[in-house]
Amino acid sequence: MTQTNILLESGTNELEVVEFFIDEDAPDGGEKPVRTFYGVNVAKVLEIIRLPDLTDMPDASHPSVMGAFDLRSEIVPLIKLDAWVKKEQSRSEHPKVIVTEFNQIITAFMVTGVTRIHRINWENVKAPSIQISSLTSNSVTGIVKLDDRIVFLLDLEKIVATLNPQLAECMTCEADVVRQVEERNIQALIADDSTMVRHMIASLLVDSGFHVTQAINGKEAWAHLMGYKEESEREGKPITDYVDIVISDIEMPVMDGHNLTKRIKDDPTLKVLPVMLCSSLITDNLFHKGQSVGANEQISKANLNKLPHRALDLVKKFDMHPNQMRQAVANQ
């Protein structure tokens, strides 16, 4: 089964989810397995295949790494997903393998089976409670009810980042960037539902001289912006006295980054703000979605080390050409 190429209109606050499940043996010797349903954004799924022949990976970084296989000349590691959600998958004659690609990394995950693709609205996705997060190793980013069952949306980026700690080793700031940011007193509003990624981005920006306000999703970021707008109108000051740039993830419960960007660019006051999308979904195939809602810059989370420099450059473009840049945005 390969990925379907269903394209959603940008800014509608919708996504498509591949639903799958993990079965555990029934307690006390029962016959019916205990089944838990999960989901992942279809945009991250390359294809769904049967369990391939595996080659052992010596000195694997985590016991969940089952081995690797050859997929059209690409060597792909296979991860036992149950190990990350604190389950113990029962033996299955025909397990499925979900091959994913995000942040320029291809990884495969073994599950018991796959059901179907659902089209849902982010407003129907609830953020997990602290208890749910702790019981699932903080690997769940959202919860949604589909038909008669609860589906947990997984934070695959966190899993891959945990398996590849070297991906964060290059998160350093440049002295010249720090100097320029501090001179401009740049205030950034960032939105990301992943606690780990949000703190990583915030730390990187703060170390680079930015003043940072954090939001856990697009709705919270929008509330911050409405507060800034109200204060700017009350004080008779430009909105840029309160925030210089918005940096947002795309996938977030309640309100996603595309919808947040569209709201900003549709607002007469806020549309002069530069918006940068920072997501694992920034690919050649999906870049146009950000453009269609008015994003001024897009960067993959695989290139987080470039984030401060790219954010500074974007703010400088608006500062250097305030009439041309901001008027061009205002006329959109």
Q: For residue 301, give the CATH number of its domain.
A: 3.40.50.2300
Is 159 found in the same domain as 18? yes
Looking at the DSSP bridge assignments, the partners of residue 294 are none
Q: Which domain holds residue 179?
A: 170-330
Residue that the structure tokens 């401009």 belong to: 184
Is 190 found in the same domain as 317? yes
Q: How far apart are CA 279 and CA 88, in angstroms?
A: 31
Question: Number of folded domains in the chain?
Answer: 2
Q: Please, are residues 318 and 325 in contact by the beta-carbon 8 Å criterion?
A: yes
What's the whole-model pTM score? 0.83
Q: Which CATH number covers residue 137?
A: 2.40.50.180
Each residue's pLDDT tens digit, 52-84: 999 998 877 788 899 999 999 999 999 999 888
Would you put residue 260 in left (φ > 0), alpha (ψ -120 to 50) or beta? alpha
Name every residue whose Cβ is closer than 8 Å to that of residue 181 and which is 6 or more positions away in sequence: 208, 209, 210, 308, 312
**Torsion angles phi and psi, residue 135, rounded to 5:** -75, -15
Q: How far apart are CA 115 and CA 95, in angstroms?
A: 12
Q: Which residues of the chain have pLDDT under 50?
A: 1-7, 322, 329-332
Q: What are the strands, taking DSSP E only, across 158-260? A: 187-191, 211-215, 245-248
Single out the residue in 112, 131, 163 at which a domain terminates.
163
CA dist 305 to 5, 208, 210, 271, 282, Å? Answer: 31, 11, 15, 27, 15
Is 210 found in the same domain as 116? no
Task: Fill in the amino acid letter for 243.
Answer: V
Q: Please, are residues 88 and 82 in contact by the beta-carbon 8 Å criterion?
A: yes
Q: Tell me, yes or no, whether 174 lies in a domain.
A: yes
* Selection from 115, 86, 91 nearest residue 25 by Cα: 91
Is 256 found in the same domain as 147? no
Predicted local confidence at residue 222, as pLDDT: 98
**Torsion angles phi and psi, residue 5, rounded to 5:** -100, 65
Is 324 found in the same domain as 214? yes
Task: Locate all alpha helices (DSSP H) within 96-217, ordered by sequence.
Answer: 130-135, 156-163, 175-184, 195-207
* Selection from 113, 98, 100, 117 nearest residue 7 by Cα: 117
Predicted local confidence at residue 12, as pLDDT: 85
Q: Tell me, yes or no, whether 6 lies in a domain.
A: no
Burial class (CB in 10 A: 0-12, 13-18, 19+), 147: exposed
Single out the residue in 163, 188, 221 at which a domain terminates.
163
* Selection from 195, 294, 191, 310 nearest residue 250 by Cα: 191
Structure tokens at 248: 């947002």
Structure tokens at 164: 């590849």
The CB density around residue 26, as the number of other CB atoms within 10 Å, is: 12
Predicted local confidence at residue 169, as pLDDT: 53
